Amino acid sequence: MTTTNRTLLSPLKLGSIELPNSIIMAPLTRMRSSADGVPSDLNIEYYTQRASAGLIITEATSITADSVGVPNMPGIFTQEQIVAWRKVTDAVHARGGRIVIQIVHAGRASHSSLTGGVLPVAPSALAAPGGTYSPRYESVTYETPEVLALEALSGIVALFVQATENALEAGFDGVEIHGANGYLLDGFLQDGTNLRTDGYGGSITNRTRLLLEVVDAVSSVIGSDKVGVRLSPSSTYNGMSDSDPKALFNHVIAQLNTRHLAYLHMTEARASEIGMHDDLLHNVINNAEQFRPVFEGAFISAGGYTLQGAGETLAKGHASAVAFGRMYIANPDLVERITAEAELNKYDRATFYGGGAEGYVDYPARVAN
């Protein structure tokens, strides 16, 4: 095993994006944009407070009104949203930060109450377990999605392309394609949710096709050195499963190697994907250890990291950088606290999703920034 002398405070290059440290703010859905998915002034304040992160990855942001996953989720498909995101990126840049946008099609993890009556779409007609919230925050159960017709798939790629063009106009430093957590692209990858018999189902090559089409189309707009991809092998969130995750993700990574991306971002299946509990699962595969050696570019690992665990992961060469989710919710100045070896604020789970300023922009920084 190769050891490195890299730490969380080491500078890092992710494609064309230069980071002063290797501490990443993980994508975090907070449900605090407008009902129309327009980023709010609170969103601007929240991201600006966290501008010292090596890189901010925004919360999952919808590429279409037809795939909204939760109420008050931001989008990047209307001019109003673009203008509002521009205020976020300008403010983060003015503080010296870097910010990429996580773009998502929620697939079957959406609901017709959130899409103006449009049924969710997915590779196959299998409903996800559980549910989401309606715009009025009533619990709703996931519906059986409509199967995406073969002819409709180029339209999905086009939505990702338009979102990327919009992200450029909004001033982002790059885009992260959400290929994780059971949303549309992950749904195509894994055989527990993809029962198709056409060129996008069956073999691993076929199941990987849509993701790669999106990666290539998005890269042609913004440059592959500004594109990241998030994957979540072996995670069961949103009812995901695959009969052979090792073979599947080895293939995905081998294909991504030829694309020269800014980074690959992988979650650890040990941690809750939505922060619902603090317990870590044992006896699950360690994705960073398993897949980092296969990927030839920069590798971000996320999921259940303590500062010590993150440092060890970097030292062992199992990742180039570590993304922190819950820690970043509670510590806007996480980089400064790590630098000073200062104590961390504790997060309040009750205010993770939805609401206003409380639990969002009122976590104290040690030194006012």
Ligand X SMILES: Cc1cc2nc3c(=O)[nH]c(=O)nc-3n(C[C@H](O)[C@H](O)[C@H](O)COP(=O)(O)O)c2cc1C
Which residue ranges make up the site for ligand X (CB under 6 A)?
26-29, 59-60, 102, 178, 180-181, 230, 267, 271, 273-275, 302-305, 324-327, 352
Q: Which one, 48 or 232, has the nearer CB to ligand X?
A: 232
* Closer to ligand X by Cβ: residue 48 or 238: 238
Are 218 and 228 contacting, i.e. CB atoms less than 8 angstroms apart?
A: no
183 has catalytic annotation: yes
Assigned token pair, 147: 């199967």
Specify the residue, 324 or 363, whose C-beta has the smaller distance to ligand X. 324
Catalytic residue among 46, 142, 183, 237: 183
C-beta closer to ligand X: residue 201 or 309 = 309
**Which among 327, 326, 324, 329 has a CA at the least distance from the CA of 313?**
324
Q: 81 or 102: whose CB is closer to ligand X?
A: 102
CB 48 → ligand X: shortest distance, Å? 19
- Minimum distance, C-beta of residue 240 to ligand X, in the bound complex (Å): 13
End-to-end CA distance of the chain: give it in Å, rounded. 40
Looking at the Cβ atoms of 69 and 367, the one nearer to ligand X is 69
* Secondary structure class of 164 (helix, strand, coil): helix
Cβ-proximal residue to ligand X, closest one: 275
Give the DSSP per-residue string, 276-321.
S--PPPSSS--HHHHHGGG--S-EEEESS--HHHHHHHHHTTS-SE
> Which contacts of 46-50 are long-range, i.e. CB under 8 A and separated by 24 or more positions?
46/360, 46/361, 47/88, 47/91, 47/92, 47/99, 48/88, 48/91, 48/92, 48/95, 48/97, 49/332, 49/333, 49/361, 49/365, 49/369, 50/25, 50/97, 50/328, 50/332, 50/334
The minimum distance between CB 54 and ligand X, in angstroms, equals 14
Query: Nearest distance from residue 137's CB to ligand X, in Å?
Result: 16
β-pairing, 23-25 vs 99-104, is: unpaired
User: CB of residue 314 vs ligand X: minimum separation in angstroms?
Assistant: 15
| Orientation angle between helical segments 153-169 and 204-222, nearest 10 degrees | 30
What are phi and psi for residue 93, nearest 5 degrees? Answer: -65, -40
Those residues with Cβ within 8 angstroms of residue 128's Cβ, 6 or more apart along the chain or in another chain: 108, 109, 142, 182, 238, 239
Query: What is the nearest approach in angstroms of ligand X to the Cβ of residue 268?
Result: 8
Catalytic residues: 183
